[in-house]
Structure 1
Amino acid sequence: MHRYLLHISYIGTTFRGIQKTVNKLEQSRLDTNSIQGCLELALRVFHPTNEIQTVLSSRTDAGVHALHSTVHVDLERPNGKPYDTTTLVGVLNRTLDKQRLPIRVLGSQLVADTFHCRYHATGRTYLYRFAVAKDPPAGDGENLRNRSYEAFVPVEEIDRCYFLQSHSFDIERVRAAARTFIGLHDFRTFMSVSRQKGPSRDHPMFTVRKIDEINIRPGKTLALATNATRAAETYDFWDIEIKAKSFLYKQVRRIVGALIALGNGRIDERSIYQMLTIPSKHSWDHRVELAPACGLYLCRVHYRSETN
């Protein structure tokens, strides 16, 4: 038996999420509405002698994408020898491509049988992409000011970025408030209620997390040619990058939602301060909307150099 670490990427739009659903009444049926289920189905082409069970390093919800995530899997070849990792990548990608699945294997490596892709990860970086419609130049007239910016979203950006219209969006105010989240905090207010129950979630320390970095930078459109020009003229694109060892359920989307609400002027800095310093589900400011899944990307799962 040999253990393999697979580096993967995917577009999550059409999936229920990365994690498969296990129905005890249907043990042999794979969940092909999840990235994990589709990957396990693709791994069957190697005909290992053991049951295929992938282990996830990170969980993403429906509609969330990944530029880099990882899973590990144990495979036992009939002759006992390890599979060639280059062949593993090539065959998996051909299989996924034939099924028209937006999942790609970036690389594969043999790891020790004691290695765990989740517990040995040293950190995770998430990227959130959003675009704010620019205010029309002064003197362009009332009709131009009231035009529907939502009418133009580059086709290349559909379900890849969050587009919003906001007069006088204050990105500098957002940058300043983002620094409030850096460091060790109880993020109970910024955790959505998960359907997965566990005794550890009732412990107060479960919601304590440390945010290592939050960087907000000008972004750019994924659109091409004429669409790119029009997108750049219509929207300001922004990237919010957040790095921590681990995150709570929907924590990133709640943080981003709060920052966008601040930039929009729906809430002020005091609201963010209260949500962060009074950790409770009752402290959530309901003027804040959860940032849509389409703009969120798992950007990187970090490991020590000897593993990565």
Structure 2
Amino acid sequence: MHRYLLNISYIGTTFRGIQKTVNKAEQPRLDTQSIQGCLELALRVFHPVNEIQTVLSSRTDAGVHALHSTVHVDLERPNGQPYDTTTLTGVLNRTLDKQRLPIRVLSSQLVADTFHCRYHATGRTYLYRFAVNKHPPSEEDNFRNKAYEAFVPVEEIDRCYFLQSPSFDIDRVRAASQLFVGVHDFRTFMSISRQKNLSRDHPMFTVRKIDKISIRPGGAVAVAPNAALAAATYNYWDIEIKAKSFLYKQVRRIVGALIALGSGRIDERCIYQMLTIPSKNSWDHRVLLAPACGLYLCRVHYRNN
């Protein structure tokens, strides 16, 4: 038996999330609505002796993408020899491509049997992409209809969050983002998962350390004439957040709070209160959860990278 680390990327738009669903009451079956299920289906082409069970380093929700994530899997060949990792990568990508699945194996590597892609990860970096209209409709316009009349490059649909806010102050967003850096109880910024998690009841479970938040100008991924029109219409921004681990929907809630601040729906005091009074009741309902389409798992960090 040999263990392999798969470095993967994917577009999560059409998937229910990365994690497969296991219903113990039913006959075991592959969940092809998840990234994990599709990977395990693709791994069947190698016909290992053992049952295929992938392990995830990070969980992403429906609609969230990954530029780099990792899984590990144990595979045993009939002859007991390890699989060639270059062949493993190529065959998996060919199999996924035949099924028209937006999943790519970046590389494969043989690792120690004691290696665990989740527990040995030293950190994770998430990227959130959003774009703000340079010439948004005014408050006097029929704002809802005008917002939908605005140009959005088709290549960016479900890849970026587009704002048609009448005003947006990126300097306030930059300054307020540093309130989240450091150790905090992020209970206010955690959504409740439907999955059972016994550790969630631990009083320290919601304490997390944000190592770094950076906000910098982004860019359109549109092509040809759409690229020029997108650049003329929007200011693109990238928010990068790095920590060892995150709570359920924590990144999207943090970004939602920052966007609400930049749009003028809340002020810095609201963010301070949500951070210093950690409770689900402290959540300011003027803050909207940032859509999944703009979120990317950018990198899973290990000691050697």
> What is the TM-score with the length of structure 2 in the denominator?
0.96
Describe the shift of the 1:80–1:208 C-alpha distance in structure 2 as closer, same or farther (beyond 3 A).
same
**In structure 1, what residue type is equivalent to 2:117?**
C
CA contact (8 A) 2:11 2:102 kept: yes
Question: 1:194 maps to what in 2?
Answer: 193
CA contact (8 A) 2:19 2:35 kept: yes
SS at match of 1:117: coil
Q: Which runs of 4+ in 1 moved over 4 A?
A: none
Q: CA deviation at 1:27?
A: 3.9
Instruction: Find the aligned partners of 1:240 and 1:92 in 2 and give their Cα distance.
Output: 32
Question: 2:103 maps to what in 1?
Answer: 103
CA contact (8 A) 1:150 1:163 kept: no
Instruction: Using the TM superposition, name which of 53-62 and 28-37 deviates more.
Output: 28-37
Question: 2:258 maps to what in 1?
Answer: 259
SS at match of 2:92: helix
Question: 2:134 maps to what in 1?
Answer: 134
Percent identity, aligned pairs only?
86
Instruction: Find the aligned partners of 1:26 and 1:235 in 2 and give their Cα distance.
Output: 49
Root-mean-square deviation (Å) = 1.8
CA contact (8 A) 2:199 2:205 kept: yes
Tell me the number of residue pairs that the alignment of Structure 1 and Structure 2 aligns: 303
Question: 1:72 maps to what in 2?
Answer: 72
Q: 5+ unaligned residues in a row in structure 2: which ranges?
A: none
Question: 1:219 maps to what in 2?
Answer: 218
Q: CA deviation at 1:165?
A: 0.8
Give per-residue Cα distances to partners, 1:215-260, cap 9 Å, x unaligned: 0000000101100111111111000000000000000000000000
1:206 matches 2:205? yes
Question: 1:181 maps to what in 2?
Answer: 180
CA contact (8 A) 1:130 1:239 kept: yes
SS at match of 1:209: strand
> What is the TM-score with the length of structure 1 in the denominator?
0.95
Matches within 5 A, 1:153-192: 153-192=152-191
Give per-residue Cα distances to partners, 1:17-63, cap 9 Å, x unaligned: 00000122344410000000000000000000000000000000000
Question: 2:299 maps to what in 1?
Answer: 300
Q: CA deviation at 1:136?
A: 6.4
Describe the shift of the 1:17–1:128 C-alpha distance in structure 2 as closer, same or farther (beyond 3 A).
same
Describe the shift of the 1:2–1:180 C-alpha distance in structure 2 as closer, same or farther (beyond 3 A).
same
SS at match of 2:205: helix
SS at match of 1:206: coil
Question: 1:112 maps to what in 2?
Answer: 112
CA contact (8 A) 2:137 2:166 kept: no
CA contact (8 A) 1:133 1:149 kept: no
Instruction: Find the aligned partners of 1:136 and 1:243 in 2 and give their Cα distance.
Output: 31
Q: 5+ unaligned residues in a row in structure 1: which ranges?
A: none
Q: CA deviation at 1:196?
A: 1.4
Instruction: Find the aligned partners of 2:255 and 2:149 in 1 and give their Cα distance.
Output: 20
